[in-house]
Amino acid sequence: MEIWIVSVILVGALYFLISEKLPVDVTAIGIIALLAITGILSPAEAVAGFANPAVITVGAMFLISRGLIRTGAVEYLSTQVVNVAGGNARSAMLLVLLTAAVSSAFINNTPVVVLFIPVLISMCCRFGESPSQYLITLSYVSILAGTCTLIGTSTNILVSDMSARYGFQALGMFELARLGIPLAVVGLLFLLVAAPRLMPTHNNPACQLNRDGGKRYLAELLIPADSAMVGQTPDAAFNRQHPSIEVIEVIRRQTVYYPDRDRMTLAADDRLLVKGGASDLLRLYETDSTTLPHVTGPMDLTGGAAERITVEAVIPPLSALVGDRLTDTDLLQSDRFHVIAVERGGAHYGERSFREMRLRTGDILLVTLPWVKMDDLRARGDLIVVEEVHQQIVKRHKAGVAALIFAAMVLLASCGVLDILVAAVSAVLLMLVTGCLQMRDAYRSLQGNVLVLIAGTLALGAAMEKTGTSHLYAQYFLGFFEGLPTGFILGSFMVLTSLSTQLLSNNATAVLLMPIAVSTAIGLGVNPKPFIMAVCFGASACFATPIGYQTNLLVYGPGGYRFSDYFKLGMPLNLIIILGGSWWIPKLWPF
């Protein structure tokens, strides 16, 4: 009976985690409550996940990452890379990706991607490249690099702690590097060759400023029913009389189209996101071909308003705006900024339709503001302004101290002088004492939904182990592969783990499949360590969907990607990880 109860809770949890009909932290709390109510776990067992060393370590790593970002330690490194690259576009892009990879191997990769999105877009604008060909690569490279060290991703920390709890050794700081580095190198080479060929090449509206010797403005136009442009292609509509106008996006109802990718002609009520010089925009406004869709308008280039610009801003995972309604924020109407549109997953929402919508990670806000207020917008910690390299550096003079604290943590944990939990918590304490991190920033950096999700899935994993559910599932799994080589079963388990992580978070996948992996190995009579490593690498092979990992979702909007773009580039990358892991894991960690 207990197995049935746990199975029903598991199925329900999977449904809500995949569909996101409830926030993931609410689902996790529901798991804990149901396991305690049904008596499957005692109250102490149900909430034991909150005191789990892995949860504390993951939380500490969030704070350490924030300290390194806020002091400018990581940004200083990225700036130096840009300077070293000089004028060679390919070298610059490669150096930026390598820098992001090295950073992601040691700190949480989400803030790394947050930092490097504007860096990469700025460089693409400078060299005339399409950001769409590199942003998805940035996300994938950060994920690949995260598998190279124990602290590269929270999944590795979780797997290490669970491995120790099951009576096997915890993972060493660089134990994963033996396989992680070769897979990351092969993956990066594949991305450098395949991404330019498989990814779209549409322009990003961020490449609007100080281009071709003068300011370029971003504006939104409406095509009226009697416009002469109706029936014309976007290029033909502007090329003759307004040569500096470039159509970035065509919004038809709520669907976003890209003229460089989608063949189409203009229709009545289409909205155009364009960029161009002030003189061409002024001449365009004087005709009857287009009108401004907003009363205030993103671009009123007359008189004192000539210094007003429009930029894109992305909602990052750590933003305090996530979950808020736009009407409750200071962005909708203020004397500094004004949001005129929101784009989410390829859908465009105008001012009338987005007021009550709750913001999500990856949403793109089209913000109009006076030029002199750009520094105010950049200074906000809850938005990524993608029009240029982020310049706001807090407490730059503390960057060296933060870097020294971080290096000491890695060294002491690597040499076994301190446990990774003790080293991480000590590093947080030192960053707080030395002023590298403020308590207010520390609380904001704690991704509560992630920590609660880990605690909830740990409780479910404990219930599966206690009731024998994981052993039963392992027997079913082995039944499909009875008589087949152990290496083939290991590869099949990596496939199962990789498929699961496309829909669930990598942490949830690792926690739920670890008991089954250990039970499968014991059932085969082999060393469980290879299966533990298969969970570790398989759970991070989340490349085929934008929802597989939050960095994938973060570049979804700025890159103008479709769901299929992730599949085209991510599936081969998944195969590289699965095949490479299936072949090399038994050689590095024998059965």
Query: Which of these ranges, 180-194, 281-295, 360-374, has the smallest mean pLDDT?
Result: 281-295
Digit-coded pLDDT (tens) for 211-233: 444 455 566 778 888 888 888 88
Supply the DSSP string of 396-443, one letter for each residue. Answer: GGGHHHHHHHHHHHHHHHHTTSS-HHHHHHHHHHHHHHTTSS-HHHHH
Beta carbons within 8 Å of 161's beta carbon, 6+ residues apart: 52, 53, 54, 57, 170
**Is the predicted pLDDT of residue 294 greater than 60, yes or no?**
no
Cα–Cα distance, 530 to 162 (Å, whole number):
14
Backbone angles phi, psi at 179, to 5 degrees: -105, -35
Please, which residues have CB within 8 angstroms of residue 541's CB and are 6 or more apart in sequence? 494, 497, 498, 501, 573, 574, 577, 578
Instruction: Quickly count: other Cβ atoms within 10 Å of residue 516's Cβ.
Output: 26
**Distance of alpha carbon 339 from alpha carbon 319, whole angstroms:** 16
Quote the mean pLDDT of the chain: 78
Q: Give the number of other CB atoms < 10 A from CB of residue 210.
A: 11
pLDDT at position 347: 62
Segment 451-469 shows an average pLDDT of: 83
Closest by CA to 369, choosing from 342, 406, 332, 344, is 332
pLDDT at residue number 187:
93
pLDDT band, residue 533 (cuts 50/70/90): very high
In which band, very low, low, confident or very high, does the pLDDT at 190 lie, cut at 50, 70 and 90? Answer: very high
Nearest by Cα to 155 from 130, 176, 138: 176
Q: Which phi and psi (to 5°) does residue 566 adopt? A: -65, -40
Which pTM was predicted? 0.67
Q: What pLDDT score does 289 carry?
A: 76
Strand order in the sheet with 308-314: 217-222, 271-276, 246-252, 255-257, 347-349, 338-344, 364-370, 308-314, 384-385
Residues in CB range of 91: below 8 A, 6 or more apart: 85
Distance of alpha carbon 281 from alpha carbon 53, whole angstroms: 58
Q: How far is CA 35 from the centre of its chain?
A: 31
State the Cα–Cα distance between residues 498 and 506, nearest whole angstrom: 9
Which of 557, 119, 561, 115 lies closest to 312 in space, CA to CA? 557
CA distances from 571 to 179, 508, 545, 577, 584 (A): 20, 21, 9, 10, 20
Q: How many residues does the chain have?
A: 591
More confident: 529 or 308: 529
Count Cβ neighbours within 10 Å for each residue of 61-87 and write b for 16 or more, e otherwise: bbbbbbbbbbbbbbbebbeebbeebee
Report how far residue 315's alpha carbon sits from residue 364's, in angstroms, rounded to the nearest whole number.
7
For the chain, the structural domain boundaries read 56-202+397-445, 217-385
Q: Give just the sign of the alpha carbon dihedral 89, 91, 97, 102.
A: negative
Question: Regarding beta strands 246-252 and 384-385, do their DSSP bridges make them parallel or antiparallel, or are they unpaired?
Answer: unpaired
| Residue 327's pLDDT band (cuts 50, 70, 90) | confident
Strand partners, 341: 366
With bands split at pLDDT 50, 70 and 90, how would you rate the model's confidence at 34?
A: very high
- Separation CA 91–CA 85 (nearest Å): 6
Does pLDDT of 55 surpass 60? Answer: yes
Per DSSP, helices labelled H in 481-505 are 486-503
Tell me which residue has tokens 């930092």: 115
Give tens-digit pLDDT for 347-390.
Answer: 666 555 566 677 887 787 877 777 677 777 776 767 877 654 33
Segment 474-490 shows an average pLDDT of 80
- Asked whether the predicted pLDDT for residue 91 surpasses 50, the reply is yes
d(CA 87, CA 49): 51
| Site of tokens 């000089």 | 86
Does the domain at 217-385 match CATH 2.30.30.100? Answer given as no
Q: Which helix (H) or strand (E) holds 344?
A: strand 338-344
pLDDT band at 300 (very low <50, low <70, confident <90, very high): very low
DSSP symbol at 236: H
CA distances from 240 to 218, 235, 244, 449 (A): 20, 9, 10, 53
